[in-house]
Structure formats: C-alpha cells, structure tokens
Amino acid sequence: MAPRPSRERRVVVTGMGAVTPLGIDVASTWDAATEGRSGIGPLSRFDASGFSVRICGEVSKGIDLGGVSHKEARRLDRNIVLAVAAAREAREDADFEVTDANRERIGVAIGTAIGGLGTLETGFEVLSKRGPERISPFMIPMIISNMAGGYVAIRHGLRGPNLCHVSACATGAHSIGEAARIIERGDADVMLAGGTECAITRLGLAGFTAMRALSKRNDDPAAASRPFDRDRDGLVMGEGAAVLILEELKHAQTRGASIRAELLGYGMSADAVHMAIPTEDAEGAQRCMKLAIRDAGIAPEDVDYINAHATSTPAGDPAEVRAIRQVFGSHADAVAVSATKSMTGHLLGAAGAVEAVLCIRALETGVLPPTINLEKPDPACDLDHVANKARQLRIQVALSNSFGFGGTNATLIFGRA
C-alpha cells in the first residue's frame, strides 16, 4: 500500500446509527443485508391506487427517538425524526459524554436531498382548503433542509460547526467527507455526519414517476430493484437515515474509544453534462474515484470492495461499471462490487451515509453484502457483483460511490481499524 499523505489529524469512525427499510438500527439493517432480504414492499403511507408506481422502501415502526415525546415528534418532519433516531444510536454506540468543556468542539453535518416535502404538501393543502391563518407556526422549521442537523444539535447540546449539504443522491457521502475535512483542519474534534430522507409522498412519487425513473414492478416489489440485471427498469424510492460519529484519531484514543474504521480518502467531482444522465464513460465518476484514491494515499490495487452507487437504472449502472474499469484496470476483475440498493431501494440524500455504514460493517465482519435480484446479468455490467448471496471475504479497504442529479459525485474510502 502506498504511504498515506501526511496528516496531522486523522479521522476515524467511533459510532454508527441507521434506520432503513431493512431495519430500525444498524444491527437489524446489517442482518437483513447479509441475508439478502429486500426491504421493498407495497406503499402504505398513502393511497397510491391512482399511481402507476405503488412500491417503495419504508422504515418500519418502532424507531427509538431517545426521549422525544409524541407531541414533540408531531412538530417534526419525518426526515428529521429519522435523523434523530440515527443520531441517538450513533452517539450511544460511540459512548461519549457531552460536557461544557467539549460541546463547542462537537459539530453536526447531516444533509438531505429534498427536505421536508411531506410537510410542504400538508401545508399547501391547509392553505388551499382552510386559508393562511391555519398554517402551523412549525411549518417553516419543519420544511427547511438544515433542521435535521439543527434539531440533533439542540437535542444533544452540540455547539460546534453545524451545516447541511444538499447535493441530491451524493448528499450523505458529501456530508461525511466534508465533516472529515472540518476535523482535519482543526475546527472540531468530533462530528455527527450523515444523511436523512423521506420523500415518499404523493408529490415525490409523482415527480419521480414523471421522470420515468422508477421501476413499475408493482406485482413483485421485492424483485423491483435489480442493479446490473438485464431486466432492470428503474430505481425504487426508499426512506431512511444514517449517522457516523467521526472523531480525530488522538482524541478517540485519549478517551479510550472503540475505533470501528478509519476514513482514509474522500473525492468529489462534477460531470457538468446533464441534469440526470451521466456520460457513457462516466468521466466525472472516474475522476471522483481517482481523487479519493489519491487522497487516501493508496493504489487502486489496494481496494478490496466497492459499494456501487448502482441505482438499477438502464443508463447509470453500465456507466459506473465502465468508470470502475477505467480507474482500476485489470484489478477491476478482482474487486468485489455489490449494490445494496437492490435491498434498500434508493434512499436519496441518505443513501451515501447508509452505504458507508454497510462498508464499515463489511470491514469489521469480513462479510460482503450481496446484490440481490441479479438473475440475468447485463453483459455491459461484467464485474464481480457478489450476486444474490453474501460472501465471506476479509477485506482491508472499502470504497463507496454516490452520484447525484446535477452531475455531482462523491467517493468515500474506509480502511479497517
């Protein structure tokens, strides 16, 4: 492995939290992922009988909000609620105390691609039917994208940097990468970083359907998300949140923290070509991965596993495969590449954070989650896609790709602790 660039402040992961269509915490999410279970089912949030798409990945009931009352939760958009649950678990996992002495050195970077869409819809309905005087005074705080991070900071008394990245499907990865930069330059010692999303609403579903982006396998929801498969017909919307506790290495060692992984590298780029479709060679994705590899101070051959962005779209999946082949050359055939969106669906702004959690668990356990529903491999998607069954493989380095609308790209690289 090439020498890592000299950094005075290295960044490690000391805690994780997640709520996904696969489970209401990291453990249940990981168990379902390694068992190859799908979290996709019939949409239950509202009556979708008039929609051509009626499937999605929903988070089940029972998430732990850590003392937030039912009354208080009703004043929060669902994307905020999911972030609160993930942050609570992450902080408990990291086992650190917030005090007057350290609270100004602990920050939050939790992003969302779309924000409080459900609250916006409800507010417009109230305005249309009952008039402006009946709008809730909590509507604006519930809508704005930065409120998930803001509310988490309020709940835990965190007074360090607090910011929200909004970069479509790359949001979660950008949030983690930029939070690491904050720690590296010394502006914080600890950051709660990740993404959250709940865009499964009437307007959200109608919008993505109008783009012709969604799978219409209503009769077989569990098989609808099928990255790299010849019969894929679009992505499946999902909801969820994930938060990592990022910590400066020496700070974590001094307090005796359990280190789960190290964030080795981070890259970002722009396609600057099209709002939703990558170029055939995915040149922007290539540059993004190369920048992350350079930042990590490793060689392409050091990467053992890739959690692909792979959304199950006709254009996106083969473009990412071509990008991986360009970046890794002959080593591309030796790298295990799985698409966990086959099980979770596409969690939009939360996707990169959830997939970071899965990469870290793969490093910790030596188990690679599969790409399910890969029954007829597309000849254009010819990598080792860990088809349909988890694999035992001790890995040292995992790479996670997140590519978003607008041509925005992010790549994270994690190493074993």
251 counts as catalytic: no
- The question of whether 274 is a catalytic residue gets the answer no
Tokens for 225, please give them: 């998300």
Q: What is the phi/psi pair of residue 367, to 5°? A: -125, 130
Q: What would you report as the CA-atom Rg of the chain, rounded to the nearest whole angstrom? A: 20
Which is nearest to 83 in space by CA: 103, 59, 104, 57? Answer: 59
Spell out the residues 6+ positions from residue 293 whose beta carbon is closer than 8 angstroms to its own.
265, 267, 299, 300, 303, 327, 399, 413
Contact 172, 195 (CB under 8 A): yes
Q: Cβ distance 317 to 311 under 8 Å?
A: yes
CA 297 to chain centre: 24
| CA dihedral over 260, 263, 264, 267, signed as positive or negative | positive
- Is 309 known to be catalytic? yes
Q: Which of 164, 309, 381, 385 is catalytic?
A: 309
**Active-site residue among 56, 164, 169, 359?**
169
What end-to-end distance do the CA atoms of the chain give, in Å? 15
Strands (E), 201-333: 240-248, 261-270, 305-307
CA–CA gap between residue 157 and residue 362 (Å, rounded): 32
Catalytic residue among 174, 251, 346, 385: 346
The values of phi and psi at residue 125, to 5°, are -65, -40
Tell me the C-alpha distance between 148 and 239, whole Å.
14
Question: Active-site residues: which are they?
Answer: 169, 309, 346
